[in-house]
A = this chain, B = another copy of it.
Amino acid sequence: MIDFFEFCNKISPLDNIASVELSSILKLNSVKKNEPIVTRSPHAREFYFIKKGIVKLCFNGDGTEFTMRFFEAHTLLCDIESCTKNEHSKYRIVAIEDTEFFSFSFFEFEKLCLTHHSLETFYRRFMTMANLNMMERISEILEENATKRYNNFIKKKPHLLQRISLGELSNYLGITQVSLSRIRALK
């Protein structure tokens, strides 16, 4: 729990009262490797803070799975699509390793944001960072081919490389397993 508030305060300092109220809606959960993060309802609208392990935010297109992003320990995530839209989200959140995480209700969090400006500011800065992250991902996909993207991944996330399967990485890079295996072989 300390980890979570350290994470928050690093992004944007929270009021004491806000912290206390936020902590009161946190719930600790865990899932096994390959299990989806489903705490209560299958389409729960929640935030998740990864305490230990790795999860992926992924979706299916035409039988193939794609991964939007990996989330390691000490990162916060949320399927914004399912939280903000009425349709069902196309995303799933699945553990890549045995994972422990805190969850808290999206709606309760937004309610707290109404009364705690500092929480709203944190929320806004969190979204800004997530947005920057996504834009960086887009630039990379647009300007680099699969080989370069693979090499960039190795450079940026060497620790993840050991813990993610080839197939999972290819789903993130947007190429097939076979292509990635070939790229790897050519080095």
Residue numbers of A with Cβ under 8 A of B are 59, 61-62, 64, 66, 68, 80-81, 84, 90, 113-114, 117, 120-121, 123-124, 127-128, 130-132, 134-135, 137-139, 141-144, 174
Contacts and interface: CB of A to CB of B under 8 A. Distances in A.
Contact of A66 (B64, B123, B143): B143
Contact of A135 (B61, B121, B128, B134): B134
A117 B15 CA distance: 14
8 contacts: A61-B142, A64-B143, A66-B143, A80-B128, A81-B132, A117-B120, A120-B121, A131-B131
Interface of A is mostly: helix
Contacts of A130: 131
A169 to B, nearest CB: 13
Contact of A174 (B64, B121, B142): B142
A83 to B, nearest CB: 9
B132 A80 contact: yes
A90 B139 CA distance: 10
A139 B68 contact: yes
A79 B166 CA distance: 35
Given A120-B120, A120-B121, A61 B139 contact: yes
Nearest to A171: B142
A134 B138 contact: yes
B142 A141 contact: yes
Contact of A127 (B114, B131, B141): B131
Contacts of A128: 80, 84, 127
A2 to B, nearest CB: 25
